[in-house]
Amino acid sequence: MTPPASRADCEACDARDPLARIRDEFLIKPGVIYLDGNSLGALTRDSVARTRTMLEEQWGPDLISSWNVHGWFDLPHRLGAKIAPLIGAAADEVLVADSTSVNLFKLASAAMMTRGARHRILTESGNFPTDIYVLQGLAALSGGAIEIITVPRSEVAARIDDATFLVVLTHVHYKTAELFDLQAITERAHAQGARILWDLSHSVGALAVDIGAAQAEFAVGCTYKYLNGGPGSPAFLYVRRDLQDAIRPGLAAWMGHAAPFDFTDDYDPAPGMARYRSGTPSLLAFAALDGALGIWDHIDLRDVRRKSEVLSELFIARVEALPGSGLVLASPREAARRGSHVALTHPRGYELMQALIARGVIGDFRAPDIVRFGFAPLYLRYIDVWEAVTILGEVLAGPLDHAEIGRSAVT
């Protein structure tokens, strides 16, 4: 689809947008153009309602009996089943629990304990730092038995070898939005006898992912970006069904026990995905996520992806038409190779972003010089993107404001 060429075209696109009705499900402050949904999604009305229900109608009157009366104990599985179709997995292959970092450790440690004679984990240099830090910590715990190899993106496929037991990659790069070919890299890992773990944090809810068709072993991801679960909302993990009972997480805890309320001294892993649970979940955060996930019941991810591509193409075309802006595209130019955010470099990127935020256009900054703009199709309109670039041009035409408004801190 060709991006709209005028303000009137944008209004026409919004009028016929199949996702337009979804915007009313979000609580977005008037006058704000929110282009940071790739860091933290917007609040849904149903998240507010579900949280209030848990507080006032469950925890309040029913106290601890709520675990059984209201099915709290099964929420990690029920929410995992809601996320599963968004990543091409079966309902019993996804669990909501803990954070992305903790889940990555669970799965990487499980792979380490079943690695045989192999001793290497391969990841991309420049991957989101916490993923690398978790792997480095695992290597330290191994006492030198395993090593972590980081290589440039262009070398990843070629560097998977017979010493590699696990490949850990982020599907959409957190800075540049560049996409890995998930199917091709997974096939390459399998051809070399390695397993693969995908971080889908910048993918889920923004583009179609078919982790099941690729036959990847593992995946993790957060729910506070395009899934709109809220700040610090629980993450998810995926384990291919045939592996679930064959491995056990390195982080073994009481809720992952086969009989958690027997309180025995020895760990006996629960069957299936239940063994990947750890401690008591934060149920209020689960309630907010439950509300946010309800939006996806009647949404076609193909509509989401199409709109994302057109929104970002509109943004890039208008930015490139700004005279002497100093902005340089840092994301792939081809929409098919890009996730749902666009990265630009600017020598005074931090000041530029603060000035935009002061004008109600909220994106974020990544050191040393990247400004990022996210396109969350469920609540972002074409006219929003048109107006955002108009304001961007006005900001660039004047002196940049040095006011410290506070940079975005979450990826």
CATH of the domain at 29: 3.90.1150.10
Q: State the number of CA atoms in the 13 A half-sphere of 227 facing the CB.
A: 33
pLDDT at 401: 58
Task: Report the alpha-carbon angle 143-197-367, nearest 5.
Answer: 85
pLDDT at 2: 84
In a domain, 1, yes or no: no
Same domain, 70 and 171: yes
Coil/strand/helix, residue 248: coil
Show contacts of 133-140: CB within 8 Å, 24+ apart: 134/101, 134/104, 134/105, 134/108, 135/104, 135/108, 135/168, 137/105, 138/105, 138/108, 138/109, 138/112, 138/250
Of residues 252, 221, 245, 257, the one with CA closest to residue 96: 221
Average pLDDT of the residues in 317-342: 96
Is 60 exceeded by the pLDDT of residue 409?
A: no
In a domain, 307, yes or no: yes
In a domain, 146, yes or no: yes
Average pLDDT of the residues in 278-292: 97
pLDDT at 400: 81
- When divided into structural domains, the chain yields a total of 2
Element (H, E) at 365: strand 364-366
- The identity of residue 386, as a single letter, is W
In a domain, 201, yes or no: yes
Of residues 165, 160, 89, 175, the one with CA closest to residue 129: 175
Of residues 384, 386, 309, 299, the one with CA closest to residue 21: 299
Question: Which of 263, 297, 331 is the last residue before a domain boundary?
Answer: 297
Same domain, 30 and 53: no
In a domain, 402, yes or no: no
Same domain, 81 and 151: yes
Banded pLDDT at 411 (limits 50, 70, 90): low
CA distance 364 to 196: 30
pLDDT at 402: 53
Coil/strand/helix, residue 136: helix
pLDDT at 408: 47
Average pLDDT of the residues in 203-217: 97
Q: Is the dihedral of CA 23, 24, 27, 29 positive or negative?
A: positive
| pTM for this predicted structure | 0.96
Is 80 exceeded by the pLDDT of residue 351?
A: yes
pLDDT at 399: 85
pLDDT at 403: 46
pLDDT at 180: 98
- Structure tokens belonging to residue 326: 């100093």
Same domain, 309 and 389: yes
Question: Which of 297, 330, 365 is the last residue before a domain boundary?
Answer: 297
Full domain range(s) for residue 312 = 7-43+300-397
Cα 248–chain centre separation: 24
Same domain, 278 and 309: no
What is the radius of gyration, based on Cα positions, of the chain?
Answer: 22
Banded pLDDT at 258 (limits 50, 70, 90): very high
Same domain, 178 and 235: yes
User: Which residues of 164-262 form beta strands (DSSP E)?
Assistant: 164-170, 195-199, 218-221, 236-239
What are the respective helix, strand and coil percentages of the chain, to the nearest 5?
45, 15, 40
Average pLDDT of the residues in 322-351: 96
Q: State the number of CA atoms in the 13 A half-sphere of 248 facing the CB.
A: 11
Same domain, 177 and 305: no
Mean pLDDT of the chain: 96
Residues with a known catalytic role: 128, 199, 224-225, 372
Same domain, 104 and 205: yes
Same domain, 286 and 306: no
Same domain, 97 and 167: yes
pLDDT at 34: 98
Average pLDDT of the residues in 149-163: 98
pLDDT at 98: 97
CA distance 276 to 124: 26
Question: Which of 297, 326, 345 is the last residue before a domain boundary?
Answer: 297
Average pLDDT of the residues in 176-185: 98
Same domain, 113 and 198: yes
In a domain, 2, yes or no: no
- Output the domain CATH number for residue 107: 3.40.640.10
Tell the residue number behind the tokens 């991801």, with chain if given.
221
Percent of the chain predicted with pLDDT > 90: 96
In a domain, 306, yes or no: yes
Same domain, 266 and 361: no
Of residues 29, 30, 33, 26, the one with CA closest to residue 381: 33
DSSP output for 17-41: -TTGGGGGGB---TT-EE--TTTSP
Banded pLDDT at 405 (limits 50, 70, 90): very low
In a domain, 178, yes or no: yes
pLDDT at 407: 46
